[in-house]
Amino acid sequence: MLAANDIKISMDGNGAWRDNVFVERLWRSVKYEEVYLHAYDSVSEARGGIGRYLDLYNRRRPHSSLDDKTPDQAYFGQPSMLLVRLAA
């Protein structure tokens, strides 16, 4: 089923840290910078808060590992929000 859908299978071995290191780092940031700071009253409130955080994380927050670019700038070539504001 995986091969039929062009999905690659990890060949690093079961439980290799490299398989999940990037996702684990992201979720650590989400938990400590958003979830643990807010007491959500509902699932929809949590979705909204986490959605806003991920927007910040991807579109507006520079990352030192990406030469102080946002992920959107680094991976999709989008201009800086500052440049967009100056052009308006």
| Average pLDDT across the chain, whole number | 83
- pLDDT value of residue 23: 82
> Is residue 65 one of the residues assigned to a domain?
yes
Query: Bigger pLDDT: 30 or 15?
Result: 30
pTM: 0.64
- Segment (H or E) for 16: none
Q: Kindly state the DSSP code that residue 1 receives in the 8-state scheme.
A: -
Answer for the pair 71, 57: CB distance below 8 angstroms, yes or no. Answer: yes
Confidence of residue 31 (pLDDT cuts 50, 70, 90): very high
- pLDDT value of residue 37: 96
Distance between CA atoms of 37 and 86, rounded to whole angstroms? 32
Average pLDDT for 4-19? 70
> Is residue 4 one of the residues assigned to a domain?
no
Domain count, the chain: 1
- pLDDT value of residue 3: 82
> Is residue 7 one of the residues assigned to a domain?
no
Domain of residue 62 covers 18-87
> Is residue 35 one of the residues assigned to a domain?
yes
**C-alpha atoms less than 13 angstroms from C-alpha of 83 in its C-beta half-sphere:** 7
> Is residue 59 one of the residues assigned to a domain?
yes
Q: Which two tokens stand for residue 65?
A: 């590992």
